Structure 1
Amino acid sequence: MLYIALLTESVADFRGYASAPNTSISSHTAPVLQAQLRCALHVAVKVHRRAFKQVRRPDARALRILAAALGAAVFAADVLMPRHIALAVLYVLVVLLVAMTGSRRTTLVTASICVALTLLAPALSHLSCLNGDAGVHRALSVIAIAATTLIALRHQTSTARLIEQIHLLNLTHDAIVVYDMKDRIAFWNHGAESLYGWPAHRALRQSIHELTQTRFPAAPEEVRKVLLQVGRWDGELERTRYDGKVITIACRLALLRDERGEPRAVLSTDNDITCRKDLQAQLQRKQDEMSAMLEAIPGMIWASTHDGDVEPVNRRWDAFDIAPGNGAQNGRSLWRTLVHPHDLPGLENDWRAAVAAGSAFESTARLRRKDGLYRWMHMCAEPLRDTAGQIVRWYGINTDIEERKCADEKLERSEAFLAEGQRLSRTGSIAMKLPDGEMLWSQEAYRIFGYAANVVPSMDLILARTHPEDVALVRQSYRQVLAETPSIDIEHRLVMPDRSIKHVHYVAHLSARQSGRFEYVGALMDVTEAKQTEEALTRSMAELAHVTRVTMLGELTASIAHEVSQPIAAVVTCGHAALRWLDRPQPDLAEAREAIDKAIRSAKRASDIVWRIRSMAQKRDPTHAELDLNALVDESIELVLHELHDHQVELDIDFVWPPPRINGDRVQLQQVLINLIMNGAQAMVSATGRAKRMWVATRMIDAQHAHVIVKDSGIGISAAHAERLFEAFFTTKSEGMGIGLSICRSIVEAHGGQIWAESPPEGGAVLQFTLPVCDGRQQ
């Protein structure tokens, strides 16, 4: 339509220009020519409109075909129609159609052809001459074709430039949108299509803010006000894409004004910064997390340039009078201010060595707090290098190790005390992890086993040192360990490389770690000296018991003499009686034989008494055998019966039935009974105003233990003496040694029993002991 308007204006100008000088043409032809030209232009406009209605986006080939058909029709009509009709002017439509293809060369060729056809038509017409009006018509047609061609070529140039600019705008990644002052979209480039998702044909003439659901950071009126005042506006806003996704846009608005200064359109350049905003948010979140992390780290974080300027990073420096954010400080003056004078030289040497080598820095020193106290710090730093490998910065951290230093010192002292205590007590530590059997030995354990400290502890090393006779016992305890027995307690012997024998005692208990694994923790004690001392003590106790028995026999001399004299006197009496029965005129052999049998029994009784006395007087090792407890008590009473008579003691005996069978040494148990009976008899010597009575009984305290009771009616046992009664060398007698009851306790406990004393309310004392009964399997 622009072409037609320009063509109309050009023809009108040409018409006014040509009509003035043409005086040779008849005046009556001018109105006819004007009418014909108006009719031709009217027809041309209608044909052009219809062509554009039918072919909205024709391609070059279709336009050329249409132009050729139209040109042929015009030519045919021009040849056949009368000369007074200016049909040749319709060739401008052919030129316009070809010009729409955009080819300048084709347009020029088409224009030339149209001019040639305009001039050729009269020659082919049935009229033989060209009158004046027909010539004018041909001239005007040629001028119209030329003018139209010129305008079309200029328009092609402008259009090509405009299309090139539009292509350039479509090549950009930015979304470029032009909309009028009513927010209706006039231009929508490919970037806008990609960004918002709406194609251009759907976006044009739509309201930009309604289409994208624009949300401004402020009120839309404020944005429009700034745009009208300044002519530009930059900011961020939110818009909704075709798929419903909300995106953040960096928008730059520019206002276009016309020649009168009135606002005409707005150019909007949009960029999607959603990802950038998300990245910024993530970066800010990471920075916040990093800041929080740096503040949460229990250390003084610092940064330093390559020349030593230190910059505190977190608030941990506040306690040391150097708050973060005060800027870099000279590292030398900073460290001289904070570091303990004794630690400063070492710290500087470590720093210089790290800088010279370009390696990690690590040192320990004491730093002074605001309160003047020094605390141990572990300092470490790593260098940051550029692409060329040069150190540009150091990053370090100072960790407070005051508690760890104190703990290390305490642990060192504790380990020293433990090692010295184990050495003095000859007790080593052994730990074993389950189920792999990994062992840990202390230094004293290595010494006890006689191994070097660099060997790896194992069960094989223990078995290699174990006495052959105790290997089975050690293996059995190891199986108990693997079975996770709660506690282990064994004693065994070790054979050392020099063939010496060591006695060791190992105790351990099972414990669970936080990791869920079980571990045995135990102590290995070298009890060799204790065993030797125990054996020596046993020998000493045996000798002391022997001395006591001999002393007791000396005290019982009268009773022994009485006991022995009675069977001897009976032997003499029976011998005399046998002689008298034999000296009769008629010997009574039966009576004599009976008297001799009595003499033999009395002699055997005297022999038994002497044998028991000799057994008690002998120095020998204990011999355990199965004994009748009632008979044992009866034999002991016979040895002290004369003493009881001398002290005027009334004796009551009460035996349990059936008699309990025990396993023990006859002589040692007789010594216990005699000692208890004699102590009771001596306790009743000073008692006055009451009968001197003694009660000896046997009982079964339960199914496994027999009970022997010796009760007297003496002065009793005071509360102050009750707890010390069985202690060695404690006695209430002026001439006593204080070892009798101590020996009794040792003998009873060695037989697996217990002995104790009581003072009943009615007076006197009750001394009693228990012994395990023999079940037929004990030997």
Structure 2
Amino acid sequence: MNVLRFPNGRAMIAMSILALLIFFADTVTVLDIAVATLYVLVVLLSARFGSTRTVMLVGAGCIALAVISWGLTRPAGPILEGIVNEVISNLTIALVTVLTIRSLRTEQRHRYQASLLELTRDAFFTWDMSGKVLYWNRGAEALYGFDRAAAIGKVVHTLLNTQFVVPLEQIVDRLHQHDSWEGQFARRRADGAPRIVTCRLTLQRDAAGRASMVLETNNDITERVRLEDALEQARSDLVRMNRVLVLGELTASIAHKMKQPIAAMMTSATAALNWLDHDPPAMRKAAQAIARIVDDGNHAVEVIARVRSLVKKAPTRAGRWDVNEAVDEVIALTRSDVARNGIQLRRELKQSSLSISGDRVQVQQVLINMIVNAIEAMHGVVDNHRILTVTTGVDGHGYAFMQVRDTGVGINEADLPHLFESFYTTKAEGMAMGLAICRSIAEAHGGRIDAEQNQPRGAVFRLTLPVERHESSGAAPAHMA
């Protein structure tokens, strides 16, 4: 780019005086020397204060002065020698003018490129192979808080207190091998505030191929990293919160289920006391009552253990477990809620062993959510055809499945593609996160969860997971549970 600049008044006067002195010396001298070559000083001086156009005009003017001077001067020697000297002088002036213009254009291009680097918001700076800063743009000043004067000449990694993900020696080796490196740095601003930046390093080499300096570009991603960490924490909290919300919907069922063994134990204890008060004491009947107390106590302990395993905040535990056993535990946990709503439960489980590798509690959480949704979907059914069918088996692709089929109000065709999206719900209340988290759990186990309409009414939810090990694929005959 040609940036037009005009010499100031003093520079113009100095160049004019110098040109006139050379013209006078070239005109009056009788020495056999090419005095006109001194005009190159005027050309070089114009390059310092003017633009390429100014240098071109000055060069042309100097050649014109040299020709005029030669025409006014009586040659002291042979005419041919005078012509040769004049041609040499003019060629010298022209060559210096061309070289000066090229140099000036290169300088202007570099200056323009540097001005563009000043306009960018990205932090851009260069440092030599000892790490000392050579250039520092405004983006670097804004990002790190060090002005250019404070940064130039300082070792960049010391100035910014850089913390490397990989050792600096490995980064330098990578630069020498591939001329570039990309990664992240943790640094500190002038005020001590931490910054995380993406970094792009590019190695520059001299004409001999030796490493001369490194160009570094930084982008501040501190806020993005903070938001990603917060999002990950929120996801973790939502998974646990959904686990608690699901159990919250089962609170009434659990309370009812706990009241049954407790009431039975109190009845059996009263009966045992009565049998012991007989004269003589009815020891056999008292022992039978006490045995019933033990059975009911064990049943209560099982309920508490299942609830505790679902609500405690524990990391994901992978292991092999039997599908049917896990489904039976969930059925036992939800049976009283099913009965209280007048729902007929059908249990159709694969007859042979069917093992899955994964987190048993998380998968059970998905199944509980599917059953709870099915129960809620049948609240509006007024006839006696409230049927909930829980099925396990292996599909045609060799995947294990756990399926919940209901005869409730069903799912609208328009809602089917969006059921498992976050914050999408068909209910008047709720956070609409349950099915979205169920999908996340299924995908984390290498499987999927699907929904479709049941015929003639209701819905079908199916959780499909990879099989760890299974034997025959025969299914147990359907029976009432």
TM-score, scaled relative to structure 2: 0.55
User: Which structure 2 residues correspond to residues 13-412 of structure 1 after superposition, within 5 A?
Assistant: 356=18, 358-360=42-44, 361-362=46-47, 363-364=50-51, 381=59, 394-395=93-94, 396-397=97-98
* Structure 2 CA distance for aligned equivalents of residues 517 and 652 of structure 1: 77
Aligned position for 2:461: 766
Aligned position for 1:454: 152
* Structure 2 CA distance for aligned equivalents of residues 438 and 702 of structure 1: 62
Q: 1:613 to 1:494 in 2, by over 3 A?
A: farther
* Residue 623 (structure 1) aligned to one of 312, 315, 319: 315
Q: CA deviation at 1:509?
A: 12
Q: 1:592 to 1:759 in 2, by over 3 A?
A: same
* Structure 1 CA distance for aligned equivalents of residues 412 and 295 of structure 2: 47
Q: 1:709 to 1:525 in 2, by over 3 A?
A: farther
Q: CA deviation at 1:732?
A: 1.4
The answer to whether the 8 A contact 1:379-1:399 is kept is no
* Residue 657 (structure 1) aligned to one of 347, 353, 360: 353
* Residue 162 (structure 2) aligned to one of 457, 465, 468: 465
Q: Which AA in structure 1 matches 2:162?
A: R
Q: CA deviation at 1:716?
A: 5.9
Q: CA deviation at 1:682?
A: 3.1
Aligned position for 1:570: 264
* Structure 2 CA distance for aligned equivalents of residues 516 and 720 of structure 1: 65
* Structure 1 CA distance for aligned equivalents of residues 109 and 414 of structure 2: 49
Q: CA deviation at 1:741?
A: 2.5
User: Which structure 2 residues correspond to residues 580-619 of structure 1 after superposition, within 5 A?
Assistant: 582=276, 592-593=286-287, 595-610=289-304, 612-613=306-307
Q: CA deviation at 1:601?
A: 3.9
* Structure 2 CA distance for aligned equivalents of residues 633 and 651 of structure 1: 12
Q: CA deviation at 1:539?
A: 5.4
Q: Which AA in structure 2 matches 1:657?
A: S
The answer to whether the 8 A contact 1:430-1:522 is kept is yes
* Residue 741 (structure 1) aligned to one of 400, 415, 435: 435
Matched, 1:726 2:423: no
Q: CA deviation at 1:530?
A: 3.8
C-alpha deviations, 1:136-177, integer Å up to 9, x for none? xxxxxxxxxxxxxxxxxxxxxxxxxxxxxxxxxxxxxxxxxx
Per the alignment, in what secondary structure is the counterpart of residue 596 of structure 1?
helix
* Structure 2 CA distance for aligned equivalents of residues 465 and 663 of structure 1: 41
**Which structure 1 residue ranges, 5 or more long, are not aligned?**
1-339, 368-376, 423-427, 774-779
Q: Which AA in structure 1 matches 2:152?
A: N
Q: Which AA in structure 1 matches 2:253?
A: S
* Residue 757 (structure 1) aligned to one of 443, 447, 450: 450
Q: 1:719 to 1:695 in 2, by over 3 A?
A: same
Q: 1:588 to 1:440 in 2, by over 3 A?
A: farther
* Structure 1 CA distance for aligned equivalents of residues 317 and 363 of structure 2: 12
What fraction of aligned residue pairs are identical, expressed as a percent? Answer: 24
Per the alignment, in what secondary structure is the counterpart of residue 659 of structure 1?
strand
* Structure 2 CA distance for aligned equivalents of residues 771 and 472 of structure 1: 37
The answer to whether the 8 A contact 2:151-2:159 is kept is no
Q: 1:660 to 1:440 in 2, by over 3 A?
A: farther
C-alpha deviations, 1:14-61, integer Å up to 9, x for none? xxxxxxxxxxxxxxxxxxxxxxxxxxxxxxxxxxxxxxxxxxxxxxxx
Q: Which AA in structure 2 matches 1:766?
A: F
Per the alignment, in what secondary structure is the counterpart of residue 269 of structure 2?
helix
Per the alignment, in what secondary structure is the counterpart of residue 358 of structure 1?
helix
Q: 1:445 to 1:489 in 2, by over 3 A?
A: same
Q: CA deviation at 1:652?
A: 3.2
Q: CA deviation at 1:606?
A: 1.9
The answer to whether the 8 A contact 1:680-1:694 is kept is no
The answer to whether the 8 A contact 2:410-2:454 is kept is no
* Structure 1 CA distance for aligned equivalents of residues 10 and 175 of structure 2: 54
The answer to whether the 8 A contact 1:477-1:488 is kept is no
* Structure 1 CA distance for aligned equivalents of residues 349 and 253 of structure 2: 23
* Structure 1 CA distance for aligned equivalents of residues 134 and 346 of structure 2: 65
Q: Which AA in structure 2 matches 1:465?
A: T
Q: How many residues align?
A: 398
* Residue 680 (structure 1) aligned to one of 374, 383, 391: 374
Q: Which AA in structure 2 matches 1:660?
A: I
Per the alignment, in what secondary structure is the counterpart of residue 415 of structure 2?
helix
* Structure 2 CA distance for aligned equivalents of residues 612 and 462 of structure 1: 57
Aligned position for 2:405: 712
Q: Which AA in structure 2 matches 1:557?
A: T
The answer to whether the 8 A contact 2:354-2:467 is kept is no
The answer to whether the 8 A contact 2:442-2:464 is kept is yes
**Which structure 2 residue ranges, 5 or more long, are not aligned?**
19-40, 67-81, 469-481
Q: 1:589 to 1:624 in 2, by over 3 A?
A: farther
Q: CA deviation at 1:472?
A: 7.3
Per the alignment, in what secondary structure is the counterpart of residue 759 of structure 1?
strand
* Structure 1 CA distance for aligned equivalents of residues 169 and 395 of structure 2: 36
Q: CA deviation at 1:678?
A: 1.8
* Structure 2 CA distance for aligned equivalents of residues 701 and 527 of structure 1: 47
The answer to whether the 8 A contact 2:43-2:58 is kept is no
Q: CA deviation at 1:730?
A: 1.7
The answer to whether the 8 A contact 1:649-1:681 is kept is no
Aligned position for 1:209: none
Aligned position for 1:324: none
Q: 1:683 to 1:392 in 2, by over 3 A?
A: same
The answer to whether the 8 A contact 1:546-1:616 is kept is no
Q: 1:521 to 1:359 in 2, by over 3 A?
A: closer
* Structure 2 CA distance for aligned equivalents of residues 488 and 550 of structure 1: 47
Q: CA RMSD in A?
A: 6.3
* Structure 2 CA distance for aligned equivalents of residues 502 and 639 of structure 1: 50
Per the alignment, in what secondary structure is the counterpart of residue 463 of structure 2?
strand
* Structure 1 CA distance for aligned equivalents of residues 295 and 438 of structure 2: 34
Q: CA deviation at 1:563?
A: 1.8
C-alpha deviations, 1:104-133, integer Å up to 9, x for none? xxxxxxxxxxxxxxxxxxxxxxxxxxxxxx
Which protein has the larger Cα radius of gyration, Structure 1 or Structure 2? Answer: 1
Q: CA deviation at 1:745?
A: 4.6
Q: CA deviation at 1:484?
A: 7.2
Aligned position for 2:30: none
Q: Which AA in structure 2 matches 1:757?
A: D
Q: CA deviation at 1:742?
A: 3.4
* Residue 557 (structure 1) aligned to one of 251, 254, 260: 251
Aligned position for 1:233: none
The answer to whether the 8 A contact 1:429-1:442 is kept is yes
User: Which structure 2 residues correspond to residues 414-429 of structure 1 after superposition, within 5 A?
Assistant: 415=117, 419-420=120-121, 422=122
C-alpha deviations, 1:583-637, integer Å up to 9, x for none? 566656566456434423422432443455467667xx54344556545554444
Per the alignment, in what secondary structure is the counterpart of residue 418 of structure 2?
coil
